[in-house]
Structure 1
């Protein structure tokens, strides 16, 4: 949060009017931006911060909804709501929540800013609000006894049980969540606790604050989502790691998911830092508190060419309004590629800001970023996989597979200087190209490629002139919405041995078949386990061998994927089945004689031993399968495939060992062996290896 938002007055009359509102003219200035048609197909990943404001008499949530935003994130400030201990001022917030919900927008509530009465000697870090604005705020007056925009000190009594009457923070959280539990189901615990503008406590104190809040939220609304407070990251890059360490002590077995459901993160200006920072956090999670979803609850870039009071003055990590439009598409693609679940743009407008960030200006005229947001919401959704980012020869690419429009590649030039021509492989003869303004054109592939001209990057306001945003991005859409088809060939009723050979047909008349997946189960209803995928079935492969882990009935099902990422639907049940038999019938016939001259042959006059002779068939692990006493033995039985040992012992003679390697099969494996037992004085002995 770059600066605290000032809430504007909202009346019940406006909310009632919004219920009937179907269209409102979006203001544009003479030089620019015409919005695209309303985005109705957006998923729930995109949102905007502080959307509920009114500008020039018009509430802004309808504008946000048309852009594709489905979330509004704003403060439920403790020092405003409970300015006086035990008196909760909810009605103004009810108006805001109802306003958003009436326009199809859900709420992410930020719980934070200590009540003055719940702190001791708390020096105010954030600037005080202009008292003249207090009466215009929806909590009006915001706080009679505390005119601070955000009180950053830890509250007292955090170490008491969350539901103790003197744990004031626990009581505030429980009361607030209980009040809104039918309308608000996502709660962010504090804002930027790793920046002393919003939190003056230690990581350990924040971990305790988070624990108390988690317990209180879940007690009030068990299904609510609890966000670990949005990390500003760059002020204290190790803060979150120290919090994780504390949470592991508090919840050593993760019974309470370490007191948060999702981590929220704030990243600004440099699109390439999104992947770097997020992956580092994920790595730390994996080695400590376990992987949790990550939401980007603030993301944006300040606009140097429209900065209040200092227009057209470049400064570090800022962009122009046109570069900011590129930022929207690139930062969203980067976020989704690294696995971020929600993307909340900061912000919808510039009201009460010292810098300009908004998708629209305060006079409701649109910036180019508004249309870029519409492009993002309309096209970059509904995918079944995202791959990338890939960077080659100065070109960045992130691919959305299997969207409702097919395959979409987000492509841009990362370097400054001159535009570059980029050749992109074609899987279809024609494609649609969409630019940052939402303008579309049809491309025809030449010699199997599309050639794109990519504008150079210009936003070199990073450290040492680094380009923090690429050139204007292009969306290359190769549309194929027809699903591929595949079929496994029938298997034999019985398969002897663990090797099951699968063969199949796969076809796609449009973008072409890419690869094939096969699942295996040992019951009709699963669970299904994937055994073959891209690596085993790419490049037109239609046959492979797989191993059954055990004997019994095995079921198989398959689906195909085409070159734009469309998946064939899984069949309703198994496609083919086979019974795997891992055994074989062994017919073993053994006779013995005394090999007096130890030449491994039965010479005239060599007779069976007169001593007691024992013979045993054993597994390779030494388990006895069958045994007998005598000079000859006929054994027949069904045994699992594997390696076996026939051991023959006779008093006064050297023992004899025969190794048998039995493979599963339908027929009887007959083994006949005449074994010469040598005198003990003969030390030369070579066992005979018999194999099928």
Structure 2
């Protein structure tokens, strides 16, 4: 809400104007403000449910926390369900505004076959009391109904380190969990456990095949609502493998939302990462490029959600550094890159990807008017490219949030893209060209004196666009005479000052509105809340003569209850500041 100043009445008339402004290329503030209009596509893994981590994640634009709930922590002893560990965690996350995507995993020893993680009695009906897994899932989903929206069933079940059963066993685990979760909360979503892929690339397809061959499955959405993947080190995987996954599902007649619930690139050269370059690792600067490119690729492939692993390094072992921030809370460049992505890639309706030579271009259409274009160079040699303009101005944003306003030249923008450090892995530093802006600007007529002695007087106004808007285009200024109607004085002017000529003894009110280069128009303030008011005072003048018609010098002439004046040597006087009714 913009502030209003009330002085006392003002204007009407014609003008002499000055103060033209032109929007041109100039740098805005480095870094971006905290993300407020977040998008559920943006998630992080394992945001610790305390400060400063919650605020760091939320301000960066994360809106979903992927959090692990271990069966062994909840039901350490058979039939004894304990939530004292998780209740305050869930409360803290929700209080800070996060949706929670929970992973159900790690069974207690008493519930598994000896030497295995596969739960005992898994093939009993899901609601049989002896099906311990089904009982646990139903209990925990009931506990957090309305507080946890989605449930991921296990972590990386295609890796022996986490799941030592068969694909058939995992399908049964998923089927039981789906039925138990839906019985407890029909509105929840059940997500197939995020796959690591590379150790057993066919595991996912075997599970899908089991689902479509199960005669009970089609009536229950095939016992999963979404599929999830873990893609690391190469941002192109978030596009290429999403398309591959969609093809596998289509092979069996299925269409499911695709999540990437772990992605990132491990660091070298920043503790606790290794000191020297390692295969599939990146510098902190390259990690920032990865974040932008990964999200752009995922959005182009219509991936529903993307979770970065992870916010901070926490207790990662020596030699493993993934955090967007360090353990002392200091941000790495990737933290700023995540905020850039969340700021400009949220609320995308459609997106496409094109590769031309060494340049990857992702073009996004926003929910409101406008286009966002993401570009990077996959070769070691810098290249210059052009982008045809679709708006009269744009923001050019680098990966850490440094912003410039640009005007097209000859109908296009020219951008030089840096080279990649390692061809074929992470591209060079990306740029984002933003031709989207749905936030109206703000403006204000400057306050005026309550009483104005001159009939012609200057009126000034100013405005500003949203911090990430494309810039101001023009103003409309209206005036009201006394209690009369508002009427246009100046329309679509680029001036910020003009001379108004009023009538003696009248009161005038002024208000203005601004429009930006995308056509967003600020509403006028309410009729009874003008920006500025003033009254034009009247003047009483004359001469004082005695009965001989001789000028009276030094006589005091006073208006009843008002101002006074003293006659000069010619007997003349002038009283100003008279208001209507005096």
What TM-score comes out, normalization by structure 1 length? 0.58
Aligned counterpart for 1:217 among listed residues 166, 172, 181:
181
- The yes-or-no answer on 1:410 pairing with 2:410 is no
After TM superposition, give the deviation of residue 429 of structure 1 in Å: 4.0
Counterpart in 1 of 2:60? 67
- The yes-or-no answer on 1:360 pairing with 2:325 is yes
Structure 1 residues 162, 423: closer, same or farther in 2, change over 3 A? same
**Secondary structure of 1:377's match?**
helix
- The answer to whether the 8 Å contact 2:30/2:403 transfers is no
1:659-678 alignment to 2 at 5 Å?
none
The Cα RMSD (Å) is 2.2
- How many residue pairs get aligned? The number is 413
After TM superposition, give the deviation of residue 382 of structure 1 in Å: 2.1
Structure 1 residues 440, 403: closer, same or farther in 2, change over 3 A? farther
- The answer to whether the 8 Å contact 1:52/1:99 transfers is no
After TM superposition, give the deviation of residue 474 of structure 1 in Å: 0.5
Cα separation, 2, equivalents of 1:384 and 1:292: 18
After TM superposition, give the deviation of residue 115 of structure 1 in Å: 1.4
Aligned counterpart for 1:472 among listed residues 429, 433, 450:
429
Counterpart in 2 of 1:557? none
Structure 1 residues 211, 253: closer, same or farther in 2, change over 3 A? closer
Structure 1 residues 269, 454: closer, same or farther in 2, change over 3 A? same
After TM superposition, give the deviation of residue 390 of structure 1 in Å: 0.5
Cα separation, 2, equivalents of 1:233 and 1:69: 25
- The answer to whether the 8 Å contact 1:52/1:72 transfers is no
Q: Note the alpha carbon deviations across 1:589-614, whole angstroms, 9 max, x for none.
A: xxxxxxxxxxxxxxxxxxxxxxxxxx
- The answer to whether the 8 Å contact 2:31/2:402 transfers is no
Counterpart in 1 of 2:166? 202
Counterpart in 2 of 1:167? 131
- The answer to whether the 8 Å contact 2:292/2:430 transfers is yes
Cα separation, 1, equivalents of 2:257 and 2:189: 11
Cα separation, 2, equivalents of 1:84 and 1:439: 54
- The yes-or-no answer on 1:321 pairing with 2:317 is no
Cα separation, 2, equivalents of 1:248 and 1:421: 49
Q: Note the alpha carbon deviations across 1:262-319, whole angstroms, 9 max, x for none.
A: 11111111011122211111111112151010111111111112242x5431111111
Q: Note the alpha carbon deviations across 1:350-401, whole angstroms, 9 max, x for none.
A: 01112111111110011111111111111112222111x1111211000111
Larger of the two Rg values belongs to structure: 1
**Secondary structure of 1:190's match?**
strand
Counterpart in 2 of 1:349? 312
Structure 1 residues 232, 171: closer, same or farther in 2, change over 3 A? same
- The answer to whether the 8 Å contact 1:244/1:289 transfers is no
**Secondary structure of 1:468's match?**
coil
Cα separation, 2, equivalents of 1:196 and 1:424: 48
- The yes-or-no answer on 1:312 pairing with 2:275 is yes
- The answer to whether the 8 Å contact 1:346/1:357 transfers is yes
1:263-278 alignment to 2 at 5 Å?
263-278=227-242
1:125-204 alignment to 2 at 5 Å?
153-204=117-168
Counterpart in 2 of 1:37? 33
**Secondary structure of 2:241's match?**
helix
Counterpart in 2 of 1:537? none
Structure 1 residues 403, 414: closer, same or farther in 2, change over 3 A? farther
Aligned counterpart for 1:381 among listed residues 325, 343, 346:
346
Cα separation, 2, equivalents of 1:34 and 1:219: 50
Cα separation, 1, equivalents of 2:285 and 2:358: 21
After TM superposition, give the deviation of residue 42 of structure 1 in Å: 1.5
**Secondary structure of 1:92's match?**
coil
Counterpart in 2 of 1:94? 87
**Secondary structure of 2:101's match?**
strand
Counterpart in 1 of 2:410? 447
After TM superposition, give the deviation of residue 197 of structure 1 in Å: 0.9
**Secondary structure of 1:384's match?**
strand
- The yes-or-no answer on 1:430 pairing with 2:430 is no
Counterpart in 2 of 1:663? none
Which runs of 5 or more structure 2 residues have no equivalent in the other structure? 1-28, 440-469, 471-517, 521-582
Cα separation, 2, equivalents of 1:121 and 1:296: 33
1:545-564 alignment to 2 at 5 Å?
none
Q: Note the alpha carbon deviations across 1:472-528, whole angstroms, 9 max, x for none.
A: 11011224669xxxxxxxxxxxxxxxxxxxxxxxxxxx9xxxxxxxxxxxxxxxxxx
Structure 1 residues 59, 480: closer, same or farther in 2, change over 3 A? closer
1:453-532 alignment to 2 at 5 Å?
453-458=416-421, 460=422, 466-479=423-436
Cα separation, 1, equivalents of 2:220 and 2:367: 36
Structure 1 residues 420, 34: closer, same or farther in 2, change over 3 A? closer
After TM superposition, give the deviation of residue 414 of structure 1 in Å: 1.0
After TM superposition, give the deviation of residue 38 of structure 1 in Å: 1.1
Structure 1 residues 251, 189: closer, same or farther in 2, change over 3 A? farther
Cα separation, 1, equivalents of 2:151 and 2:314: 24
**Secondary structure of 1:91's match?**
coil
Counterpart in 2 of 1:226? 190
Cα separation, 2, equivalents of 1:480 and 1:37: 16
After TM superposition, give the deviation of residue 236 of structure 1 in Å: 1.0
**Secondary structure of 1:206's match?**
helix
- The yes-or-no answer on 1:372 pairing with 2:368 is no
Structure 1 residues 183, 402: closer, same or farther in 2, change over 3 A? closer
Counterpart in 2 of 1:85? 78
- The yes-or-no answer on 1:117 pairing with 2:120 is no
Cα separation, 1, equivalents of 2:366 and 2:44: 26
What TM-score comes out, normalization by structure 2 length? 0.68
- The answer to whether the 8 Å contact 1:429/1:445 transfers is yes
After TM superposition, give the deviation of residue 87 of structure 1 in Å: 1.1
Cα separation, 2, equivalents of 1:252 and 1:283: 23
- The answer to whether the 8 Å contact 2:49/2:92 transfers is no
After TM superposition, give the deviation of residue 193 of structure 1 in Å: 0.2
- The yes-or-no answer on 1:332 pairing with 2:323 is no
